[in-house]
Amino acid sequence: METDQTPLRVALLGCGTVGGAVAQKITRHGDELAARVGRPLELVGIAVRRAGRDRSDLGIDPTLFTTDAEELVTRADIVVEVIGGIDPARGLILRAMEHGASVVSANKALLAEDGPALYAAADAAGVDLYYEAAVAGAIPILRPIHESLAGDEITKVLGIVNGTTNFVLDAMDTTGAGFAETVERAQALGYAEADPTADVEGFDAAAKAAILASLAFHTRVSSADVYRDGITDVTAGDIQAAREMGCVVKLLAICERVEGEGGEPGVSVRVHPAMIPRTHPLASVREAFNAVFVDAAAAGELMFYGQGAGGDPTASAVLGDVVAVARHRVAGGRGPGEIAYADLPVLPMGSAQTRYHISLDVADRPGVLAQVARIFAEHEVSIETVRQQVVPDEDEQARAYLIVVTHTAADAALSATVDALADLETVNEVTSVMRVEGS
């Protein structure tokens, strides 16, 4: 039977790190993509901001470039948005859908801020919205959660979803160097941006956590719902303390099904540095790699690992989505849209269950340990281990370091315990506080 071989028109918005790699692959591997889709894909235009920029190294027909993205999106069947940021990306996506195009995006910031509105527009237009590349670059993680695990119940997603911070923390662990020095090295090697704020302050990971939680728990979660602590306060001392405990420090995105104080179901979504045992699978994720650990009721533990950024790796995920939505065009129909029926509340950080590693600089005299222990007891926080190290002091005042690791407790109780410890007259300083996960 003759099938329609009219090319599906693809418009690309953005031709930077990701867009350049996508454009090259569509151009160079057109025949294979056509065979996989069942119809040819034709790149009909590439919108950029700077018209005069030399892009000859990409080997792409220069007549395809335009600065008129508004016009370009009206003449495509599939629009690939790899501009980034909120506006004009949002307006262009909505306009593309209004004109009947399916959309593929890598834009975690936008999806985590306004995902439901984009899904609603996709529904109204009867088109697809796919965004596998928005979380963990090349790693197929969103479709496994959204589709492959749709028959199961996901209870927890624990991920290293930011390559820059993983590179920095890994390098601090390997070299013993401090945070600022390591970020400078990461910038020199091209692993960290000139302005690393979005990565080191945890904004990038928080957006990805919101997307993971929304899909895993069938609930709307936006970036603003995610508790966020970056890695800027992680010191060489914290890394050393983790090492002494047989742990490494990682910036984790943690999405969990939890129960509130009254036993009501909810979700906890948070991004913060945490110590994890060196035996945990996520501890072996080195340099700028990403990994996501999923726990599901029937499937058990699953781990997804790979490159979380870079032109070619991210283009792989983008093109996977392009082929998927193109196949839907050929066959008729759409992929799954937003599934938010569970509508679980996002519970505050205070109700998250975690463990703390606390280092205290204390006076070394009778009764101090008892005072410290009393504070933990008053807050109903159970101590798992205590280690004391006497510090030779130049002022000839007897001092000691106390290192306390707690059992699991509500974050609010742990945090109040730390505040009360800091107020004790015998505590010179709370030198480090870090959550402990994965054990």
- Number of residues forming the site for ligand NDP (CB under 6 A): 25
Q: How far is the CB of 309 from ligand NDP (least distance, A)?
A: 3
Kindly indicate which of the ranges 101-109, 188-196, 284-292, 377-385 contains the residues binding ligand NDP, using the contact rule CB under 6 A: 101-109
Kindly indicate which of the ranges 102-110, 297-305, 386-394, 403-411 contains the residues binding ligand NDP, using the contact rule CB under 6 A: 102-110
Which residues from 142-201 bind ligand HSE, rule CB under 6 A? 162-164, 199
38's contact among ligand HSE, ligand NDP, none, with CB below 5 to 8 A by partner kind, is none
Assess contact for 89 and 13: CB atoms under 8 A: yes
Site string for ligand NDP, 130-169 (x = CB under 6 A): ---x---x--------------------------------
Q: List all residues 6 or more positions away from 2 whose beta carbon is below 8 Å from its beta carbon.
A: none
Which residues from 278-337 bind ligand NDP, rule CB under 6 A? 309-310, 314
Chain center to CA of 332:
33
β-pairing, 300-307 with 8-13?
unpaired
163's contact among ligand NDP, ligand HSE, none, with CB below 5 to 8 A by partner kind, is ligand HSE
If one asks whether residue 106 binds ligand NDP (CB under 6 A), the answer comes out as yes
Q: List all residues 6 or more positions away from 277 whose beta carbon is below 8 Å from its beta carbon.
A: 246, 247, 283, 438, 439
Site string for ligand NDP, 242-281 (x = CB under 6 A): ----------------------------------------
Compute the distance between CA of residue 63 and CA of residue 71 in angstroms, rounded to an integer: 15
Q: Which residues are catalytic?
A: 208
Name the packing angle between helices 163-175 and 236-244 (round to 10°): 70
Kindly indicate which of the ranges 17-25, 260-268, 367-375, 409-417 contains the residues binding ligand NDP, using the contact rule CB under 6 A: 17-25
Tell me whether residue 53 or residue 423 sits nearer to ligand NDP (CB atom): 53
Q: How far is the CB of 205 from ligand HSE (least distance, A)?
A: 8
DSSP 3-state of 372: helix
15's contact among ligand NDP, ligand HSE, none, with CB below 5 to 8 A by partner kind, is ligand NDP
Compute the distance between CA of residue 406 and CA of residue 418 in angstroms, rounded to an integer: 12
Burial 173-207 (b: 16+ CB within 10 A, else e): beeebebeebbebbbeeebbeeebebbbbbbbbbb
Q: List all residues 6 or more positions away from 227 whose beta carbon is below 8 Å from its beta carbon.
A: 269, 270, 271, 272, 348, 349, 352
The burial class, CB within 10 Å (0-12 / 13-18 / 19+), for 235 is middle
337's contact among ligand HSE, ligand NDP, none, with CB below 5 to 8 A by partner kind, is none
Q: How far is the CB of 15 from ligand NDP (least distance, A)?
A: 4
Tell me whether residue 314 or residue 417 sits nearer to ligand NDP (CB atom): 314
Q: CA of 311: how far to CAs of 2, 102, 295, 337, in Å?
A: 37, 22, 30, 27
Tell me whether residue 3 or residue 56 sits nearer to ligand NDP (CB atom): 56
Tell me whether residue 45 or residue 163 sits nearer to ligand HSE (CB atom): 163
CB atoms within 10 A of CB 406: 22
Tell me whether residue 104 or residue 171 sits nearer to ligand NDP (CB atom): 104
If one asks whether residue 204 binds ligand HSE (CB under 6 A), the answer comes out as yes
Compute the distance between CA of residue 182 and CA of residue 171 in angstroms, rounded to an integer: 7
If one asks whether residue 74 binds ligand NDP (CB under 6 A), the answer comes out as no
Tell me whether residue 199 or residue 364 sits nearer to ligand HSE (CB atom): 199
Q: Closest Cα partner for 289 from 139, 183, 172, 437?
A: 139
For the chain, give the number of residues. Answer: 439
If one asks whether residue 317 binds ligand HSE (CB under 6 A), the answer comes out as no
Compute the distance between CA of residue 327 and CA of residue 322 in angstroms, rounded to an integer: 8
Kindly indicate which of the ranges 12-20, 288-296, 369-377, 420-428 contains the residues binding ligand NDP, using the contact rule CB under 6 A: 12-20
Q: Closest Cα partner for 213 from 297, 260, 157, 295?
A: 157
Binding site for ligand NDP (CB under 6 A): 13-19, 47-50, 53, 69, 82-84, 88, 106-108, 133, 137, 309-310, 314
Binding site for ligand HSE (CB under 6 A): 162-164, 199, 204, 308-309
